[in-house]
């Protein structure tokens, strides 16, 4: 999701790659001048002194100039203003200039080898807390310091998220982009620690801006306007919860939509249909997580989802202690692509029972990086310790559901007593824990000579090798 671009001014290139200390002399024998001195006496520096002038396009080099000026600051007093000016210039620039900056900024400010060697020597001699702090400071990437300084700007955190969204839109195979991405992701992992986030229920009386964001960010089952949203958040048997950051209180980071039901649903229309029977919350036995949305691509890799589900389960158990089952009704977004490759493009979609068996094989046996499930949603829920419970055909008749998965959806069950064991099975043993119903689907699709008496593979249990 793109962040709004805003505007006001800034910068020009000078100085060394370290961004600290004097880098140039002025005239013959005058005092040595820092990148900040050079910047403030440049044409772009004049713009900095006249904030309010409409922003203009800049090059990646101009952005590097301003970044170097930020790193040259001795104190923090000017930091917020200069950081704000940087973002004004950055956001007024076109994507090519922004990505030029992002590709170069990490390499433009290499680690200070001399300072690291000195700190290592001091640690070897003293091994005290002061030496440890000095070593940590010396090994910190200058671009990590730049990220902290940029966070001083108004809405700095959100604007840095927008910067990472620009970065992720580029070719991460580029060494400079990948290095700066690691620095950004590391900073976000600290700033967006689940312990710092606020869990809030989103209801029909929530602020309009929050409700607008829910409509905007819903990517699993599209919300068709305000009436559709109202059916998701207002009824007594529906819930919506989101994580919010203190600096972004009207903008959810991730949210989950929950349906209270009396049984596991086998199709999404059972949950989001306009006409349906209400379930009294005190009579419900199941809490169904039917849509989980990470709202900002710039926070990719930050593990909100598992914390969100566990927190929401805790809230619901406290409010409705009679709930027995916590489960999902989830899409299988990579299934159609995998099936086309497995069967060959142009092959007809198999009938429902065969389709379910193929989907089960895809979810359990198709492997991706690190031997983990290929399907992103399966990887998420199974990695959180859920069990693959059921596979349904004709469950999502929307255009998106047909295109991505030929209408297949699945239930993952979060059995609180088994979560840790299931997680261990997947991550350490490479196995996916399934129900007997899913195991039966897998066995139906196997060659007859692979089966033994009783219809089960020798040694087969409900945990299936991934």
- The chain-wide mean pLDDT, for the chain, equals 83
Please tell me the chain's helix, strand, coil percentages from 3-state DSSP, rounded to the nearest 5: 50, 15, 40
Q: Half-sphere exposure of residue 9, counting CA atoms within 13 Å on the CB side?
A: 15
Q: What pLDDT, in 10s, does the model give residues 338-353? A: 999 998 877 899 999 9
Across the range 83-110, mean pLDDT stands at: 89
Determine the Cα–Cα distance for residues 259 and 276; give it in Å rounded to an integer: 12
CB atoms under 10 Å from CB of 66, counted, come to: 30
What is the distance of C-alpha 168 from the center of its chain? Answer: 11
Q: Which of 14-23, 53-62, 371-380 has the lowest mean pLDDT?
A: 14-23
Tokens 């300072």 label which residue?
115
Determine the Cα–Cα distance for residues 78 and 177; give it in Å rounded to an integer: 28
Q: What pLDDT, in 10s, does the model give residues 316-340? A: 999 999 999 999 999 999 999 999 9
**Pairing status of strand 330-331 against strand 387-392:** unpaired
Determine the Cα–Cα distance for residues 408 and 357; give it in Å rounded to an integer: 11
pTM: 0.78
Tokens 């790659």 label which residue?
17
Whether residue 231 is predicted with pLDDT greater than 50 in this model: the reply is: yes
Determine the Cα–Cα distance for residues 109 and 142; give it in Å rounded to an integer: 6
Across the range 295-316, mean pLDDT stands at: 91
Token output for 138: 């010396």
pLDDT value for 9: 32
Q: What percent of the chain has pLDDT over 70?
A: 81
pLDDT grade, residue 129 (50/70/90)?
confident
pLDDT value for 160: 97
Q: Which of 45-54, 151-160, 391-400 has the lowest mean pLDDT?
A: 45-54
pLDDT value for 284: 98
pLDDT value for 75: 59
pLDDT grade, residue 273 (50/70/90)?
very high
Contacts of 141 (CB under 8 A, 6+ apart): 106, 109, 111, 183
Helix (H, G, I), strand (E, B) or coil at 250: coil
Q: Which of 50-54, 198-202, 249-253, 451-455 has the lowest mean pLDDT?
A: 451-455
Higher per-residue pLDDT: 365 or 47: 365
Sign of torsion over alpha carbons 353, 293, 400, 265: positive
- The DSSP secondary structure of 259-321, one letter per residue, reads EEESS--SSTHHHH-SS-----GGG--EEEEEEEEE--GGGTT--HHHHHHHHHHHHHHHH-T
Report cis status (omega within 30 of 0) of the bond before 457. Answer: no
């Amino acid at each position: 999701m793109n962040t709004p671009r805003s505007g006001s001014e800034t910068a020009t290139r000078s100085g060394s790659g370290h961004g600290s200390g004097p880098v140039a002399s002025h005239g013959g024998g005058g005092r040595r001048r820092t990148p900040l001195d050079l910047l403030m006496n440049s044409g772009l520096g004049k713009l900095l002194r006249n904030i309010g002038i409409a922003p203009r396009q800049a090059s990646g080099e101009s952005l590097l100039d301003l970044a170097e000026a930020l790193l040259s600051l001795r104190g923090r007093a000017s930091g917020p203003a200069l950081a704000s000016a940087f973002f004004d210039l950055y956001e007024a620039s076109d994507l090519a200039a922004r990505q030029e900056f992002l590709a170069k900024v990490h390499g433009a400010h290499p680690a200070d080898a001399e300072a690291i060697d000195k700190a290592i020597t001091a640690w070897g001699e003293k091994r005290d807390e002061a030496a440890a702090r000095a070593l940590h400071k010396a090994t910190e990437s200058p671009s990590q310091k730049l990220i902290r300084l940029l966070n001083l700007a108004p809405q700095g955190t959100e604007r840095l998220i927008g910067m990472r969204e620009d970065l992720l839109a580029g070719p991460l195979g580029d060494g400079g982009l990948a290095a700066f991405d690691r620095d950004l992701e590391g900073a976000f992992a600290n700033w967006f620690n689940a312990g710092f986030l606020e869990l809030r229920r989103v209801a029909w009386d929530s602020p309009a801006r929050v409700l607008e964001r829910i409509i905007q960010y819903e990517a699993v089952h599209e919300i068709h306007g305000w009436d559709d949203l109202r059916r998701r958040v207002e009824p007594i048997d529906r819930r919506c919860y989101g994580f919010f950051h203190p600096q972004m209180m009207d903008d959810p980071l991730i949210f989950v939509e929950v349906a209270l039901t009396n049984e596991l649903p086998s199709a999404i229309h059972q949950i989001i249909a306009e006409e349906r029977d209400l379930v009294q919350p005190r009579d419900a036995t199941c809490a169904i997580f039917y849509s989980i949305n990470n709202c900002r691509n710039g926070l990719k890799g930050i593990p909100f989802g598992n914390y969100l589900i566990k927190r929401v389960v805790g809230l619901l158990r406290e409010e409705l202690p009679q709930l027995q089952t916590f489960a999902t009704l989830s899409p299988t977004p990579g299934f159609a692509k995998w099936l086309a490759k497995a069967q060959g493009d142009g092959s007809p979609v198999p009938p429902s029972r065969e389709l379910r068996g193929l989907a089960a094989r895809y979810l359990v046996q198709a492997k991706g990086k690190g031997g983990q499930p290929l399907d992103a949603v399966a990887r998420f829920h199974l990695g959180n310790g859920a069990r693959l419970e059921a596979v349904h055909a004709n469950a999502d008749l929307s255009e998106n559901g047909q295109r991505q998965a030929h209408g297949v959806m699945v239930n993952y069950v979060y059995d609180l007593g088994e979560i840790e064991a299931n997680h261990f099975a997947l991550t350490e043993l490479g196995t996916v824990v399934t129900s007997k119903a899913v195991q039966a689907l897998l066995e139906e699709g196997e060659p007859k000579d692979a089966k033994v008496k009783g219809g089960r593979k020798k040694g087969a249990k409900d945990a299936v090798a991934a």
